[in-house]
């Protein structure tokens, strides 16, 4: 019998569970999540065949009356209205009803796209996620942010759509590259820094070799603690009117780095790694953490193989300009999430230009 742990998420719009375990998909009954008999499976075609077969067999065991799939290459270009439309036309052609369930299987691009389609098809059908990257397990699949990219900007089109459930199976992480794992650790570090000092010391002592016996269970525990932090925040502020903004710690800097590099340099998690060093430096400059705390944050980020320096083409003045033209920033005032001591976040506005530029000197 596989050990499966459960975390209940409660938001104003819905209540659902996240299930955690290692290689448990095939022993998990889908009917525990949904009674839908019409299942539409959206998955990233780059995933290993064995993993795809595992999830298809998990779905078939629920004896659906209709079971169809959509495979696509999950990349930023395909996270689009065009791909959503292809999926929607297929759902229409195959006569999927309002009682259908979409099962998404892939990283954040897949969960975002599938969630978006589920939010608009017939004004909303059920969706559940089986995230396969560490980043999607601790961040993208939880909290109901879904969306696609516009022609020019990332994530400009979307909806809040909470899933029926999320199945977080560490089995899928075993085929992830070191670089993709690091990208996910970045979001776990973020959750620890804004909310949980204990998680920070666990990360400090964590041995990242997940092939070593026992380490995958420890990673599963870290994922659970991290997800719980996000779920609590989303429970208080589903639509990002207040505390959910804390989850953007490091992200104002990260988005600017990604945009200056035309999304072809650091990946999102890596950009968040450097972005958190900048946000920690800003916290130091504003007197909210001390230099030992800043050094500790920087070395933890480094320990998880994340960059701690700005890439060569990202001079501070260019990053500041990119932050000022971020389409998602509120009017023209820049808002930053800083640390008010380790384990506590705070929003600041009207920061001097000099301080912002100095926070980029890391
Ligand atoms: N990734 C940040 C959020 O879900 O709010």
pLDDT band at 41 (very low <50, low <70, confident <90, very high): very high
Per-residue pLDDT, 152: 85
Percent over 90 (pLDDT), the chain: 93
The residue whose C-alpha atom lies closest to atom 3 belonging to ligand 1 is: 247
pLDDT band at 2 (very low <50, low <70, confident <90, very high): confident
The residue whose C-alpha atom lies closest to atom 2 belonging to ligand 1 is: 247
Convert the pLDDT of each residue in 304-313 to its tens digit.
Answer: 999 999 999 9
Convert the pLDDT of each residue in 169-225 to its tens digit.
Answer: 999 999 899 999 999 999 999 999 999 999 999 999 999 888 888 889 999 999 999
Per-residue pLDDT, 328: 66
> Taking 80 as the threshold, does the pLDDT of residue 329 lie above it?
no
Convert the pLDDT of each residue in 66-108 to its tens digit.
Answer: 999 999 999 999 999 999 999 999 999 999 999 999 999 999 9
Convert the pLDDT of each residue in 234-274 to its tens digit.
Answer: 999 999 999 999 999 999 999 999 999 998 999 999 999 99
Q: Report residues whose beta carbon is within 6 angstroms of any ligand 1 atom.
A: 139, 143, 145, 244, 247
Distance 63 CA to ligand 1 centre (A): 34
Distance 248 CA to ligand 1 centre (A): 7
Distance 157 CA to ligand 1 centre (A): 15
Distance 319 CA to ligand 1 centre (A): 22
Distance 304 CA to ligand 1 centre (A): 21
User: What global pTM score does this model have?
Assistant: 0.95
Pocket perturbation via mutation, ligand 1, pick of 135, 247, 249, 251 by most ligand atoms within 8 A of CB: 247
Convert the pLDDT of each residue in 103-113 to its tens digit.
Answer: 999 999 999 99
Average model confidence (pLDDT) across the chain: 95
Per-residue pLDDT, 339: 98
- Three-class SS string for the chain? CCCCEEEEEECCCCEEEEEEECCCHHHCCHHHCCCCCEEEEEEECCCCHHHHHHHHHHHHCCCCCEEEEEEECCCCCCCCHHHHHHHHHHHHHCCCCCCEEEEEEECHHHHHHHHHHHHHHHHCCEEEEEECCHHHHHHHCCCCEEEECCCCCCCCEEEECCCCEEEEEHHHHHHCCHHHHHHHHHHHHHHHHHHCHHHHHHHHHCCCCCCCCCHHHHHHHHHHHHHHHHHHHHHHCCCCCCHHHHHHCCHHHHHHHHHHCCCCCCCHHHHHHHHHHHHHHHHHHCCCCCHHHHHHHHHHHHHCCCCCCCCCCCCHHHHHHHHHCCCCCCCCCCEEEEECCCCCEEEEECCCHHHHHHHCCC
């Amino acid at each position: 019998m596989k050990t499966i742990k459960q975390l209940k998420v409660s938001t104003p719009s819905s209540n659902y569970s996240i299930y955690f375990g290692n290689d448990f998909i095939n022993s998990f009954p889908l009917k525990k999540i949904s009674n839908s008999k019409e299942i539409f499976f959206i998955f990233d075609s780059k995933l290993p065949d064995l993993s795809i077969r595992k999830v298809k067999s998990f779905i078939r065991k629920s004896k659906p009356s209709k079971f169809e799939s959509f495979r696509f290459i999950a990349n930023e270009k395909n996270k689009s209205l065009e791909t959503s439309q292809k999926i929607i036309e297929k759902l229409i052609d195959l006569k999927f009803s309002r009682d259908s369930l979409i099962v998404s299987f892939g990283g954040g691009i897949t969960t975002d796209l599938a969630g978006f389609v589920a939010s608009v098809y017939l004004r909303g059908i059920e969706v559940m996620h089986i995230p396969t990257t560490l980043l999607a397990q601790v961040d993208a699949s939880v909290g109901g942010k879904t969306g696609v990219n516009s022609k020019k900007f990332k994530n400009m089109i979307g909806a809040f759509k909470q899933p029926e459930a999320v199945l977080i199976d560490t089995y899928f992480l075993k085929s992830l590259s070191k670089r993709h794992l690091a990208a996910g650790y970045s979001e776990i570090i973020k959750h620890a820094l804004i909310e949980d000092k204990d998680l920070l010391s666990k990360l400090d002592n964590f041995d990242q070799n997940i092939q070593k016996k026992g380490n995958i269970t420890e990673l599963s525990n870290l994922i659970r603690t991290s997800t719980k932090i996000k779920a609590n925040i989303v429970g208080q502020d589903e639509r990002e009117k207040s505390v959910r903004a804390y989850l953007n710690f490091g992200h104002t800097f990260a988005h600017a780095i990604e945009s200056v590099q035309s999304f072809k340099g650091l990946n999102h998690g890596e950009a968040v790694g450097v972005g958190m060093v900048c946000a920690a430096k800003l916290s130091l400059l504003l007197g909210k953490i001390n230099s030992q705390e800043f050094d500790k944050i920087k070395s933890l980020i480094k320990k998880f193989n994340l960059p701690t320096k700005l890439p060569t083409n990202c001079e501070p003045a260019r990053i500041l300009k990119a932050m000022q033209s971020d389409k998602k920033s509120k009017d023209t005032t820049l808002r930053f999430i800083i640390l008010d001591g380790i384990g506590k976040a705070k929003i600041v506005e009207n920061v001097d230009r000099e301080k912002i530029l100095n926070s980029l000197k890391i």
